[in-house]
Structure 1
Amino acid sequence: EQLASADASGVARLWDVASGAELATLPGSATPWALAFGSGTIAMSSRAAVEVWDTETGELLARLDLPPAAQTTRVLLAYDAPATIRVALGRDVILWEWAENRVSGVETDGPVLDLRFDDDHLLAATSAGDRVRIWNAAGEVVATIDGAATGIERARLSTDGMRLAVRRVDGDVEVRTTHDDPLALPGYTHPLLRITPADMRATVVDDAGKAVVWDIGRAEALETFAHWAANDPAPAAALSPDGQWLARGGNDGVTRILSRETGELAVSFHGHLRAVTSVAFSQDGALLATGSLDGTTRLWNATTGEALAALEGHTSGVTAVAFGAQGRVLLTTSYDGTLRLWGVANP
């Protein structure tokens, strides 16, 4: 229902997603590096401190000053409970009970790559060389993932904490359950651009323009889409909610949708004057939104390719597009530094 955005000046703003109205302005103290919503609160982290703000009154409720190591370390935030925040800072995961101003911590064996909470309170994914470990809230290692000749660049836990996607520095990707053997997605010599899960499937797109749809459960490649032209890297890709269609935006300004079953081109969308940077399906799969370096966002009938609307207002290239949970609002961001909300029914 609410969206938070922050700019380089340190100001964060809360927005009502349905109406686009600004709900609150939070001044902050420095450029925010991480945001996390709680129950009636929002936590913002800069390189210097973590601050908790009341989302209704805009009042600063608590502040935790970070050590000097934060100046050169990625900071991650996640709420463990309404009055408890986990702060990942380098190798340390700090437990901050902000209402009581109590701080404790867990030191891990490597940089924290991701924080995620579920019913079992899985805490963090950390990396040390070619090893990823999953830690619980008690500071205990609940899973260890080993085995690679090259280091681990990124790791991301699924929302339920049951699967972990690992990207290595050579571009190879593995999807693992947190308790079982790895599911390797081999054959990549280029850095990964995107993984989009849908019904236990993942779409992997590399910078050579090749996309592969994988069955995550069986680690089996279902389809390979390579005939878009290998010399035209894919700056944007998305899998439809039902997993049947793959949309790919190109540097030529054209977006194409391919059938997952046949691999054939189903429909193409022409209208952008420059590269397509982001594509997104609506939740029901009926609409497709495309953003471009030409500064426009376009809405299309995903089945017929009919152009429904051209959304103009950004003064520079569009960097991301995303539909709201109900599909009635479209969010766009741009190199011009603005974030815009559009009513899909009446753009």
Structure 2
Amino acid sequence: MHQKQALNWLREVTLILDKIHQQNWFHRDIKPANIMKRNNGKLVLIDFGTAREETQTYYQKVKGESITGINSPGYTPNEQQHGQAVVQSDFFALGRTFVHLLTGKHPSDLYDALNDEFKWRGEIKDIDPLFLDLIDHLMQRLPKHRPKNTRVILEKLDEIEKKINPPPKPIKKQPQVIAKIPQPTVKQKPSQVISNKSQGVIKKKTPKKKEHIFVRVIKTGLISTSIFGVLAFILVEGYVLFKYKYNILKNFTYPINLLYDFKLLSSDIRSSRFLHKTIRGHFKSVNSVAYSPDEKYLASGSWDNTVKIWEVKTGKLIRTFEGDFSSVAYSPDGRYLATYREPDFDTIENPVKIREVKTGKLIRTFEGYSILVAYSLDGKYLATESENTIKIWEVKTGKLVRTLTGHSDSVVSVAYSPDGKYLASGSWDNTVKIWEVKTGKSIRTLTGFSGWLSSLTSISYSPDGKYLAARCNIARVSHDSMLDDTVKKWDVGHPICTWEVATGKVIQTLTGHASNINSVAYSPDGKYLASSSSDRQIKIWRVEQITCVGA
């Protein structure tokens, strides 16, 4: 084998070992028989049956007890023969392999047992001593005296190749001397010059008028503004088209949509710093989400007819309940889940069902049309929505206790305050109403925030009762003509709004879901807010920071 081929092959095998070692594995049986050559001339390292993972457990075993040894005479280093192979053991076998390739003799035939010497250099001709020194470095008796890793070997190969094959020196070009031959000058007669002028041959250069600096500034500003506007349009509308699947070009004559899209993009960027975690696992819209009282678990109900229980800390799926339901609510002691499914075209009414969390067993059913449910703090009562009203039921008997009226459109979310004295309800009439549970009286009405066409749905109290979180449907607005006041709506960019209950002030909004937000729920410690969406995702937000920012 000639020197150039040996250098190339050593580099190829070292690169293969580099990938193996990066995965915390070492081969333990490198020898010529385990190196194959493909049809394209590339080398392949085979026989990984003896490979071993480099782990802390492995090194603990090496220190305390023997490991099954792999022994190929002539190639296996001393430490591996004693069942204590390390990464550098591969380098010893690699060096012995190239001794075999360069000399054509098995390493065992080159070993002098009487003098304990490995005599191999005398068998090689026309190989640079630097390359031979590298092979000796690979075959050092002690692992600590061999290269530390494959990168050291590759760097040494680079140095050897530079010294063996230095780059050619650039050839300096001699400057060319061009002799200038003087041209004879021909004097024209005055009559000729006048004649040429009359024929327009001689032309005087007229100096261009310099533009005023103010004009140049205006031109530069207009060009820069145009370029910036085009780039901004591409960025904003590309983002909205990619994430929200809405194309402004279908409605390009209405520039108000571009303003909303820019506002939506900037809101998503601001909200991203509060996003703590995203959980995926449902294959249809996630309709509801609820924390367990001990904060360890999160329950989610979906239109895929499952309720899933997730471990909050890791986002890991713990349990799945199959059945005809899409939304959930935990009982205060965490033992039960209230489940229900929103009615579809084939269903006139759907009952609320109480299930045991541990087993999924059905405990009780509340008959009647309802969409959302909420447990009271003591677990004795259950609030449900029915068209424009809220119904309060006694859990133990299933008896209807009270009906709350006051919304002008469908009620789509209910939530008890932490002290159990108040009940909040969200409606498509664009309001959130606070009710006194004992009397059924409406004591406060919260409205949406200005500047957006919105509807307030899916609400949740913070554990300290100071804040309310709710989904707000933001609609795009356009007109069929300049004289037409008809409003069209698209479900694009639904934020979560956080209110201060005492003042009714919106202190923060969050966006990030690619579709409708169907539910929100505070964690029991008030630090996080979970939201579920028709984009099949659950997002967990750091709410403690939000209230601080908005305060």
**Alignment TM-score, normalising by the size of structure 1:** 0.49
Q: Which has the higher contact order (CA 8 A, sep 6+)?
A: 2
> Comparing both structures, which one devotes a greater share of its residues to helix?
2
For the pair shown, which has the larger CA radius of gyration, 1 or 2? 2
